[in-house]
């Protein structure tokens, strides 16, 4: 038991197995599970999370047959070879005292290949492949495949399985009228539509016996048209309970939903109401999920009776030792997941190995290793933005003497501005984490100190053995007539200096920062309350209407904003696949006018003069805000014609190295990799 979070760290006893706490590492595809040669890396990744105290780990989705693949040649559980590979993973987790369940899935019409199959032959908007309608015989075959995969999982040493019944995958497709247009025993009313899921559970139970965890991830809020109502969700939960499920996990939304479910701007624990609704209707334990990232929130969900356990996938990617730190009362030492998706889900959807923006070791546990140093060096890091903070703390953790110089009065660099953007409040957690880590690793921090090259070369107590230049970027000032006009501001003036901004505004540049500035100028509250979020997106958390969808309330915009770029095509194409659409839609809710293919002519008292589609146009705005990208700041170092430092002791990282397409993911990773090599 933990004094700090007594409910979260109470064990959960199933009679045949006891979970040491209520912290579940939820399923997340990493890319490592798809290739057998990556299984030692997968084992190391999960073993670290088991060592870090997670009560139960769930693997990424493993298909029960080939037609159920999400991507061609994805991880499958149907041969003796698969059992041998997975045994390595289970053994590694058990050696660390952890428990692990395999997620069994069938992608149905989300399968990105021509052999996909589903309840009906309806195509998903997000997938070019049309599925084949499954015959009744085929449905029974698939039920058998789930049972066989569960038996093999038990043979490999898993403590249980999770049946993936949500997020719009096959079992969810059968469960909802949206996809299920069948008139046979597996279609029709909710009892027919739930039959596949119920029979899967019964078949698994028959195959594995009573002493094995069978978890079911049930969609408790579909967030799509043709989704289920609360009565249908509850009836399904009760039928699953009666069929032998040990615990029910929460699924929220389908991958094709138009409503965000996990990005930073979704309020923390937004969906606990949906979980609580099911919990009240069943006796088996229920797990809450989505946008739960701190022990305070997790504890409150369990203590209030809304759920018995919490599932966190990304937070345990961000910090493998999340549970141990919370249990020891050291929550302030947790490297908190900021919900950015940039290194996890955006990688998954680009078929790249997942990692984590704030923890580049995630899924690279055997490759990015911070070994203690044999010879202590004296290292200077110039710049306390994300690149510098990452380099300084990794170097110090390894045992080097590290000095960190920062011209500003505080750490964080560009990230401080991001943290000021409504919907990105979580970014403050990363600054809090690094602030503590600097102290714990003994980095000597000099804030408000613009260090000179002379100082670095004549340091007190001897020169530095290595100098890491992480001096970042400065805003690019485009050459437009009238750019010096008083109504022109930079994004730094707005986001950091908080200079006053008028009621009618033009934003030049529709990259990540242009969008951030729009959100900053339009938001009424920060963070957004759950009530306002559900009104804006049209969500009924208790699914009184099918799918939990209601008409969104129009947002009353407090400013008129024009977002501009010179390129034609999609605005704000920069931010990742899983987040870009959320930002674009939020701007649409606020009535932002987005103009591409724009030529900037001049700025004067009347406003911003542009040419769009060949026609001259005046945007009569009070302010023009520049978000036109950045250039590197690296005056402190002399570079050769290839941009490499001429003095071999110097190293360039982050925006000081390359300004274009800089983001915190590259900065933190580059800083950590350099510091791991010194
Ligand atoms: P960016 O993404 O490179 O966008 C710069 C914008 O400025 C573009 O829209 C570009 O569009 C415009 N531009 C460039 N040169 C210009 C010029 N000379 N005159 C007028 N317009 C010009 O840069 P950013 O928005 O500053 O963001 C910096 C980095 O941080 C990016 O890598 C970004 O992905 C990252 N970031 C990410 C997020 C996120 O949520 N994931 C949020 C913020 C920042 P045109 O050239 O078409 O005009
Ligand atoms: Fe969380 Fe971002 Fe890391 Fe993904 S990349 S785990 S969302 S912090």
Torsion over CA: 586, 588, 592, 596 (sign): positive
Site to substitute for ligand 1 among 629, 632, 660, most atoms within 8 A of C-beta:
629
Residue 64, token pair as written in the block: 């029960």
Residue 13 is predicted with a pLDDT of: 97
Residue owning the nearest CA to atom 30 of ligand 1: 663
Pocket of ligand 1 (CB under 6 A): 342, 476, 478, 508-514, 516, 565-567, 574-576, 579, 627-630, 661-663
Pocket of ligand 2 (CB under 6 A): 314, 317-318, 337-344, 356-358
CATH code: domain 477-523+558-628 is 3.50.50.60
Find the mean pLDDT for residues 403-424: 95
What DSSP state is assigned to residue 639?
Answer: B
Atom number, ligand 2, closest to the C-alpha of residue 359: 3
Q: Per residue in 300-331, pLDDT tens?
A: 999 999 999 999 999 999 999 999 999 999 99
Site to substitute for ligand 1 among 511, 566, 655, 667, most atoms within 8 A of C-beta:
511
Q: Per residue in 493-531, pLDDT tens?
A: 999 999 999 999 999 999 999 999 999 999 888 888 999
Residue 1 is predicted with a pLDDT of: 52
Residue 649 is predicted with a pLDDT of: 92
How is the chain split into domains, by residue range?
12-349, 383-472+631-677, 477-523+558-628
Residue owning the nearest CA to atom 3 of ligand 2: 356
Q: Per residue in 639-656, pLDDT tens?
A: 998 889 999 999 999 999
Find the mean pLDDT for residues 103-123: 97
Site to substitute for ligand 2 among 28, 342, 355, 425, most atoms within 8 A of C-beta:
342
What is the domain class of 12-349 according to CATH? Answer: alpha beta
Residue owning the nearest CA to atom 6 of ligand 2: 314
Q: What is the CA(628)–ligand 1 centre distance, in A?
A: 6
Residue owning the nearest CA to atom 2 of ligand 2: 340
Residue 461 is predicted with a pLDDT of: 67
Three-state SS at 84: helix
* Percent of the chain as helix, strand, coil, to the nearest 5: 35, 20, 50
Helix (H), strand (E) at residue 252: strand 247-252
Which bin fits 547, alpha (ψ -120 to 50), beta or left (φ > 0)? left
Q: What is the CA(584)–ligand 2 centre distance, in A?
A: 20
Residue owning the nearest CA to atom 38 of ligand 1: 512
Atom number, ligand 2, closest to the C-alpha of residue 355: 5
Q: What is the CA(390)–ligand 2 centre distance, in A?
A: 16
Q: What is the CA(655)–ligand 1 centre distance, in A?
A: 13
Residue owning the nearest CA to atom 8 of ligand 2: 337
What is the C-alpha separation between 532 and 440, in angstroms, rounded?
39
Q: What is the CA(427)–ligand 2 centre distance, in A?
A: 11
Residue 463 is predicted with a pLDDT of: 86
Site to substitute for ligand 1 among 417, 426, 512, 587, most atoms within 8 A of C-beta:
512
Neighbours of 44 (CB within 10 A): 18
Residue 643 is predicted with a pLDDT of: 85
Concatenating the DSSP letter of every residue in 160-225 gives EEEEEE-TTSHHHHHHSTTT----STTSSSHHHHTHHHHHHHHHHHHHH-SSSEEEEEEEEE--ST
pTM metric for this prediction? 0.95
Residue 4 is predicted with a pLDDT of: 87
The pLDDT > 90 percentage for the chain reads 88
What DSSP state is assigned to residue 401?
Answer: E
CATH code: domain 383-472+631-677 is 3.40.50.720
Contact 628, 488 (CB under 8 A): no
Q: Give the 3-state secondary structure of 303-366.
A: HCCCCCEEECCHHHHHCCCHHHHHHCCCHHHCCCCCCCCCCCHHHHHCCCCCCCCCCCCCCCCC
Nearest-ligand number for the alpha carbon of 513: 1
Q: Which residues are annotated as catalytic?
A: 169
Q: What is the CA(354)–ligand 2 centre distance, in A?
A: 9
Residue owning the nearest CA to atom 21 of ligand 1: 628
Q: Per residue in 421-479, pLDDT tens?
A: 999 999 999 999 999 999 999 999 999 999 998 888 887 767 899 999 999 999 999 99
Residue 574 is predicted with a pLDDT of: 62
Q: What is the CA(673)–ligand 1 centre distance, in A?
A: 26
């Amino acid at each position: 038991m933990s004094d700090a979070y007594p409910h979260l760290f109470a064990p959960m006893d199933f009679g045949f197995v006891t979970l040491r706490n209520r912290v579940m590492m939820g399923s997340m595809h990493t890319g490592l599970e798809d290739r057998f040669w990556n299984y030692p890396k997968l084992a190391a990744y999960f073993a670290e999370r088991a060592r870090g105290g997670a009560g139960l780990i769930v693997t990424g989705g493993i298909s029960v047959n080939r037609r159920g693949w999400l991507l061609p040649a994805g991880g499958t559980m149907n041969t003796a070879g698969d059992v041998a590979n997975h045994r390595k993973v289970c053994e590694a987790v058990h050696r660390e005292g952890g428990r692990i369940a395999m997620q069994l899935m069938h992608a149905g019409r989300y399968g990105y290949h021509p052999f996909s199959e589903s309840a009906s032959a309806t195509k998903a908007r997000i997938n070019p492949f049309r599925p084949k309608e499954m015959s009744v015989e085929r449905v029974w075959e698939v039920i058998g495949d789930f049972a066989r995969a569960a038996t093999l999982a038990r043979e490999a040493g898993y403590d249980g399985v999770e049946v993936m019944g949500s997020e719009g995958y096959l079992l969810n497709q059968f469960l909802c009228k949206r996809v299920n247009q069948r008139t046979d025993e597996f279609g029709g009313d909710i009892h027919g539509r739930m039959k596949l899921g119920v029979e899967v559970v019964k078949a698994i139970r028959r195959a594995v016996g009573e002493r094995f965890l069978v978890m079911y991830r049930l969609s408790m809020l579909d967030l799509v048209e043709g989704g289920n109502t609360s009565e249908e969700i509850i009836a399904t939960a009760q039928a699953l309970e009666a069929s032998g499920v040990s615990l029910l996990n929460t699924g929220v939304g389908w991958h094709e939903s138009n409503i965000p479910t996990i990005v930073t701007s979704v309020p923390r624990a937004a969906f606990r109401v949906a979980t609580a609704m099911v919990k009240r209707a069943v006796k088996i334990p229920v797990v809450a999920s989505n946008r739960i990232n701190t022990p305070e929130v997790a504890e409150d969900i369990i203590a209030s009776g809304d759920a018995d356990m919490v599932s966190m996938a990304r937070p345990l990617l961000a910090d493998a030792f999340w549970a141990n730190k919370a249990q020891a009362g050291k929550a302030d030492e947790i490297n908190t997941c900021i919900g950015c998706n940039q290194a996890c889900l955006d990688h998954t959807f680009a078929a790249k190995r997942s990692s984590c923006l704030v923890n580049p070791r995630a899924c690279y546990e055997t490759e990015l290793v911070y070994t203690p140093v044999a010879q202590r060096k004296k290292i200077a890091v110039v710049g306390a933005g994300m690149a510098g903070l990452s380099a300084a703390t990794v170097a110090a953790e390894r045992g080097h003497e590290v000095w960190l110089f920062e011209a500003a009065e505080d750490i964080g660099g560009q990230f401080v501005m991001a943290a000021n953007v409504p919907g990105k409040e979580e970014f403050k957690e990363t600054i809090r984490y690094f602030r503590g880590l600097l102290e714990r690793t003994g980095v000597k921090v000099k804030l408000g100190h613009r260090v000179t090259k002379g100082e670095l070369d004549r340091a007190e107590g001897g020169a530095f053995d290595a100098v890491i230049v992480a001096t970042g970027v400065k805003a690019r000032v485009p050459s437009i007539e009238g750019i010096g006009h008083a109504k022109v501001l930079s994004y730094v003036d707005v986001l950091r200096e908080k200079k006053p901004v008028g009621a009618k505004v033009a934003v030049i540049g529709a990259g990540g920062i242009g969008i951030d500035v729009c959100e900053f100028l339009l938001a009424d509250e920060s963070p957004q309350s759950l009530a306002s979020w559900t009104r804006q997106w049209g969500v009924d958390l208790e699914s009184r209407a099918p799918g939990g969808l209601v008409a969104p309330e129009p947002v009353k915009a407090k400013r008129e904003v024009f977002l501009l770029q010179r390129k034609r095509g999609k605005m704000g194409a920069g931010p990742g696949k899983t987040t870009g659409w959320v930002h674009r839609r939020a701007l649409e809710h606020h009535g932002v006018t987005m103009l591409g293919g724009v030529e900037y002519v001049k700025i004067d008292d009347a406003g911003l003069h542009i040419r769009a589609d060949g026609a001259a146009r005046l945007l009569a705005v009070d302010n023009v805000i520049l978000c036109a990208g950045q250039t590197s700041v690296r005056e402190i170092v002399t570079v050769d014609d290839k941009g490499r430092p001429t003095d071999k002791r110097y190293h360039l990282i982050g925006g000081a190295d390359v300004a274009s397409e800089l983001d915190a993911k590259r900065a933190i990773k580059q800083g950590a990799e350099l510091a791991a090599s010194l």
